[in-house]
Amino acid sequence: MEEREQPAEEKLREECGVIGVYDLDGNPVAGEIYYGLFALQHRGQESCGIAVSDTEGPKGRVNAYKGMGLCNETFTPEILEGLKGNIGVGHVRYSTAGSSTLENAQPLVLNYVKGTLALAHNGNLVNAPGLRRELEYGGAIFQTTIDSEVIAYHIARERVRTANVESAVANAMKKLSGAYALVIASPRKLIGARDPFGFKPLCIGRKDNAWILASESCALDTLGARFIRDVEPGEIVMINRDGIQSDRSMCLADPRKQARCVFEYIYFARPDSVFDGISVYHSRIYAGRCLAKDSPVEADLVTGVPESGNAAALGYSMESGIPYGTAFVKNTYVGRTFIKPGQSSRVSAVRVKLNVLKEAVAGKRIIMIDDSIVRGTTSHQIVRMLREAGAREVHVRVSAPPFLHPCYFGTDIPSEDQLIAHGKTVEEICTLLGADSLSYLRTERLSEMAGNLPICTACFTGEYPVAPPAEDIRGDYAR
């Protein structure tokens, strides 16, 4: 079996991407879900899956297919053709809790006394172990090690004593603590739900007579769908043959306690997405402008580390007047997951992904903008590559504050002893990177770049909106 790259590298990983489609005209939706997942592939590259059913067909018949790897590695035209149904959900996964195995791939499909549920989940629950033990002592037998199955079981259990599935979701949500965006297909309904803090994004779109729920608006653009609005924190939306409904009495959110993940704006989301009314691209431009105002330096060229550093680099250039240019060529055929060079190969994983344009940097003072520094190993190698290409000076600017604390809500920020900024000064980190200067985005700028929406900054400040779990929930990836 091929060895997949593990999260020991510099870049952060996100939990998942989800999508749901309900075509009221009865047209098959597997193809739409597939291309929507393609647009969300940046949110997870370990596994993917699609589950569909026919709202006019027999209840309980769900066609599902899941596999390890990327969407284009997993699905063929023949497989998609065999996934018949006009309602369904899809999922791309990167695991921050639960191991990377086919058993843990989503969507999860449950057959129970009230029918079927197909569920796709993005996020992490901080109380998943306790909820799981409660179910196990009640006789539940789990097929996976992921908290998504805990959510599915609680919804199924609540459905037995409620009038409809949306009420079951609302009751289950009262027990869940942490981050989640859910897309659920029942035999006749498509349901979307977002945690009361709004950690994870979820939006609503419409294409002809089909309704779409997706993690990011870029998926709607790919499908040629019209963006309707975001699902609000704590909101549950239900789509059936009569259209879309939202029962506000089920809304659990307290606007004073919302805590959107700020890394959607900094790194996770595609720059062409809009998250709760705020353009991700404009957020990154603004972060770059702030770096130029707060941490100016004389230089000849501003460049971004592809791809997530590019917009912030452009913002730095716009504010400082220093020319923006390309200093790196990214290998188009290397995604965020690839087979790591083995011990027998001396090839650097960073060099496989990036190469420096010597003609662009030789003899110049370079400002290198990156979205974050986690362990520092990759940043050190990139600085060295610029110097080897002839850069006279390398000034590193980071469009996020220093990471000081782990994340428990679906972002693979490791334990504190793995974070280069923990226990070190900026000057010490600069020396370790081999840079001429180093500056981070000021923490107070985060709210500004998120349009002053309430955000979670726990990985920078240690101020968690939900108490961290007593036991580590990040499984194999807490390293």
Q: Residue-wise pLDDT tens for the chain (479 aa)?
A: 233 333 344 555 556 999 999 999 999 999 999 999 999 999 999 999 999 999 998 877 999 999 999 999 999 999 999 999 999 999 999 765 545 678 889 999 998 888 899 999 999 999 999 999 988 988 888 988 889 999 999 999 999 999 999 999 999 999 999 999 999 999 999 999 999 999 999 999 999 999 999 999 999 999 999 999 999 999 999 999 999 999 776 677 777 789 999 999 999 999 999 999 999 999 999 999 999 999 999 999 999 999 889 999 999 999 999 999 999 998 877 655 455 565 555 567 888 889 999 999 999 999 999 999 998 989 999 999 999 999 999 999 999 999 999 999 988 787 888 899 999 999 999 999 999 999 999 999 999 999 999 999 999 999 999 998 876 555 433 32
* 471 CA to centre of own chain: 23
CA separation for the pair 97, 471 (Å, rounded) = 12
Per annotation, catalytic residue among 16, 48, 290, 456: 16
Q: Which two tokens stand for residue 410?
A: 């679906």
Closest CA to 102 of 74, 143, 76, 67: 67
CA separation for the pair 2, 207 (Å, rounded) = 39
Determine the longest span between alpha carbons in the chain, in angstroms: 72
Q: CATH for 278-331+349-477?
A: 3.40.50.2020
CA separation for the pair 176, 158 (Å, rounded) = 13
List b or e across 239-251, with b for residues whose CB sees 16 or more CB atoms inside 10 angstroms. Answer: bbeeebebeeebb
Closest CA to 267 of 441, 8, 439: 441
- CATH 3.40.50.2020 boundaries in the chain: 278-331+349-477
- CATH 3.60.20.10 boundaries in the chain: 16-258
pTM for the model stands at: 0.91
CB 447 within 8 A of CB 436: no
> Is 456 one of the annotated active-site residues of the chain?
no
Closest CA to 289 of 311, 268, 260: 311
In eight-state DSSP terms, residue 40 is T
Architecture of domain 16-258: 4-Layer Sandwich (3.60)
